[in-house]
Amino acid sequence: MKLALDPQMFYATHSVLDLPDVVARTGYSWMELSPKADFIPFFSHPRADDATVAKLRKRAADAGVGIASVLPVQRWSGPGEEERQAAVRAWKRAVQIAVDLGVDTMNSEFNGRPEAAEFAESQFLRSMDELVPVFEREGMKLVLEPHPDDFVEDGHAAVRLVRGLNRDWISFLYCTPHTFHQGNDASGIIAEAAEKVTYVHLADTLDHTASNGLRYIVNPPGSTVRVHQHAEIGRGEVDFDEVFAALADVGFDGVVSSCVFGWKERAEEISVRQREKATGLIEKHFGAGKL
């Protein structure tokens, strides 16, 4: 098992080349590279050239930090065909960047529009038709997660779609801060995913459905906005013992990545506490020596 840090809270103050040292300083051996303006931005073509990629690989090696995954987020499920084509182009470059970094895993979201789920799925499958040969040629693994406001948000539905893609190198990511958007059934979703769950995002959130949906208040009433947090473990209502017990039951041996956002003024101390809490949960449910 690998315990990684998504250093997103350091993005505003550090270049992508500085991140390995940050990750090492907080005690992690692995790093997840999520969307970043000077690397692979949200919904845009990558900004890193070959020279930058080579420098990043060396900086990571020098810091003793492995890169667990590269995480692009692109509009590969539309809504329009031009957006989809641009996303596929960006994905192809992102795959090359991952290969050049020596990374064998990429994770992402389904994206698309939930109010047009059937069309978005068809766009997603069209993109996959173009990208599957690229992933297979490069030996790249792909891990997919349902995200609030994607065309698939429910965890069970996402697991079934992952299985429907029928590739042994495509698997499922369970994101704990999305627990209450994907059905509030961590043990059931993880049990259904079984060997297909290979990646976990680790952060806490409040249950937006509790107290008649009044944990968060949005105006106007009835708005379809999706609200959640990526908070430090203990600041929300996710049952992490349920999550890790379910992971142990299915023999999970993948990546656990700390993904706290929104508290950049305390980024370092929170990252350290997240590592300690994650290590404690892993030792409690899997036994010592699993990292």
CATH number at 259 reads 3.20.20.150
The verdict on residue 234 lying in a domain is: yes
190: phi then psi, degrees, rounded to nearest 5: -65, -40
Distance CA 205, CA 261 (A): 11
Taking a C-beta distance cutoff of 8 angstroms, is the pair 27, 69 a contact?
Answer: no
Q: What was the pLDDT predicted at 223?
A: 87
Q: How many CA atoms does the CB half-sphere of 240 hold within 13 Å?
A: 24
Q: What was the pLDDT predicted at 140?
A: 98
The tokens for 75 are 């509009």
The verdict on residue 247 lying in a domain is: yes
Distance CA 126, CA 40 (A): 22
Distance CA 46, CA 49 (A): 8
Please give the C-alpha separations between residue 19 and each of 41, 101, 123, in angstroms, as whole numbers.
16, 14, 34
Place of tokens 């500085």: 18
Range of the domain at 230: 2-286
Which pLDDT tens digits describe the chain residue by residue (291 residues)? 999 999 999 999 999 999 999 999 999 999 999 999 999 999 999 999 999 999 999 999 999 999 999 999 999 999 999 999 999 999 999 999 999 999 999 999 999 999 999 999 999 999 999 999 999 999 999 999 999 999 999 999 999 999 999 999 999 999 999 999 999 999 999 999 999 999 999 999 999 889 888 888 888 888 888 989 999 999 999 999 999 999 999 999 999 999 999 999 999 999 999 999 999 999 999 999 888
The verdict on residue 291 lying in a domain is: no
Number of domains in the chain: 1
The verdict on residue 14 lying in a domain is: yes
Distance CA 19, CA 99 (A): 19
Taking a C-beta distance cutoff of 8 angstroms, is the pair 19, 271 a contact?
Answer: no
241: amino acid identity, one letter: D
pTM of the model: 0.96
Q: What was the pLDDT predicted at 215?
A: 84
Please give the C-alpha separations between residue 26 and each of 23, 115, 258, 289, in angstroms, as whole numbers.
5, 41, 12, 20
**Closest to 274 (Cα-Cα) out of 187, 176, 182:** 176
Residues in Cβ contact with 1 at an 8 Å cutoff, skipping those fewer than 6 apart: 252, 253, 254, 255, 256, 282, 286, 290, 291
Q: Which helix (H) or strand (E) holds 32?
A: strand 30-33
Q: What was the pLDDT predicted at 23?
A: 98
The verdict on residue 182 lying in a domain is: yes
The verdict on residue 199 lying in a domain is: yes
Place of tokens 């050239």: 49
The tokens for 14 are 């550090």
Taking a C-beta distance cutoff of 8 angstroms, is the pair 32, 69 a contact?
Answer: yes
Distance of CA 175 to the CA centre of its chain: 7
Q: What was the pLDDT predicted at 212?
A: 84
Q: What was the pLDDT predicted at 221?
A: 80
The tokens for 244 are 């890790």
The verdict on residue 115 lying in a domain is: yes
Please give the C-alpha separations between residue 289 and each of 20, 165, 279, 280, 282, in angstroms, as whole numbers.
24, 34, 10, 11, 9
